[in-house]
Amino acid sequence: MPTDVAITAAKRPAQPPAPAEGTIPEFEIRPRRGWVPIDFKELFHYRELLYFLIWRDVKVRYKQTLLGFAWAILQPLVTMVIATAVFGGLAGFSGRMSEELIARHVPYNLFVYAGLLPWMLFSVGISTGGTSLMNQQNLLTKVYFPRLFVPASVIGTALVDTAISFGVFFILMAFAHVAPPWTVVFVPLLLLLTTLATMGIAFVLSSLTVTYRDFRFILPFMMQCWMFLSPVYYPLTVKKAWEQALVQANPLYGLIEAFRSCLLGQHWKWKSLSISVLEIAVLLLVGLYYFKRTERRFADIA
């Protein structure tokens, strides 16, 4: 028995020496160098925090407002009415829609609204996601949590508004006596692609805004230019090869056209959609890489 006790004591790891009386041990926390991989296990563990942040942003966005959630209905609806009057009436774009839409008697306002659905998700997600880290600087410096959740939560809030807008769109289709095609089942997949594209760009812009505060002034101008370069309010037809390459460089081009094909029965442009999917994958990887590379400095410079 004494022999067993001696063996056990020999195998027991040596205890660190106790600090001298009156001294306090010091710990130095340093950021990790090099590439910091994405801890998907950690993201899954904190998933309830993401749901809480989304719900908080939804409540804060419409808190103390006169119309509340009605703004999610009025904003795209009023935008559609103005765009229909300006681009469809004054500019005469209503007669330039694809032959499939004209044959199905799809009104120009539905054409515009179908383009607004992905655009508003993309626009709101980037505009709010690009400044999300700067707006949450008090939270970043007080407690640890996956920083990716900050821009992701505001994009989740934009998804809630998009879901409400889809309900309005289908009501407008019913009033116009336009039946949705069977391809409407692909809407969730297209929404996922739009969300991933928004996340990739929002991750980069939110990181840049923390370091360079003047990016918050660039964001509105950038989104305004991007809107007019995308076929949101007007049909875009190009024939020359260099024009097609220039148009397809915009990842939203293939997405917007895919939404119209999915919701209104327009001819699918598979080449443009494939290019958009490839561009979205690159944007997401670049966004995640840059965000994780600069994340270690957020608490110091926020």
The winner for highest mean pLDDT among 6-15, 138-147, 186-195 is 186-195
Give me the phi and psi of 13, to 5 degrees please: -65, 145
For the CA atoms of 104, 107, 111, 116, what is the dihedral angle to 10 degrees?
Answer: -140
Instruction: Express each pLDDT in 63-82 by its tens digit.
Output: 766 666 677 788 888 888 89
How far apart CA 73 and CA 229 sit, in angstroms, is 25
Question: What's the pLDDT at 6?
Answer: 46
pLDDT at 254 over 70: yes
Alpha carbon 160 to its chain's center: 12
Cα 186 to chain center, whole Å?
Answer: 19
Q: Which amino acid is present at 292?
A: K
Closest C-alpha among 124, 40, 35, 28 to residue 76: 124
Indicate the average pLDDT of the chain: 82
Query: Tell me: the pLDDT tens digits for 190-232?
Result: 999 999 999 999 999 988 888 888 788 888 889 989 988 898 9
For residue 169, what are the CA distances in angstroms to 95, 109, 243?
A: 21, 10, 31
Q: pLDDT tens-digit profile of 30-57?
A: 555 555 677 788 888 888 888 888 888 8
Q: Please tell me the least confidently modeled range out of 21-35, 103-117, 215-229.
A: 21-35
- Number of CB atoms found within 10 A of residue 157's CB: 22
Average pLDDT over residues 141-167: 87
- pTM metric for this prediction: 0.83
pLDDT tier for residue 1 given thresholds of 50, 70 and 90: very low
Answer with the residue of higher pLDDT: 19 or 141: 141
Q: For the residues 129-145, what does the mean pLDDT come to?
A: 80
3-state secondary structure 65-102: CCCHHHHHHHHHHHHHHHHHHHHHHHCCHHHHCCHHHH
pLDDT at 124 over 60: yes
Q: How far is CA 97 from the centre of its chain?
A: 28
- The rounded distance, in Å, linking the Cα atoms of 212 and 196 is 24
Please give the radius of gyration of the chain, using alpha carbons only, rounded to the nearest integer: 25
Residue with the two structure tokens 């056990």: 8
Question: Does residue 3 have a pLDDT over 60?
Answer: no
Helices (H) and strands (E) in the chain, counts: 15, 0
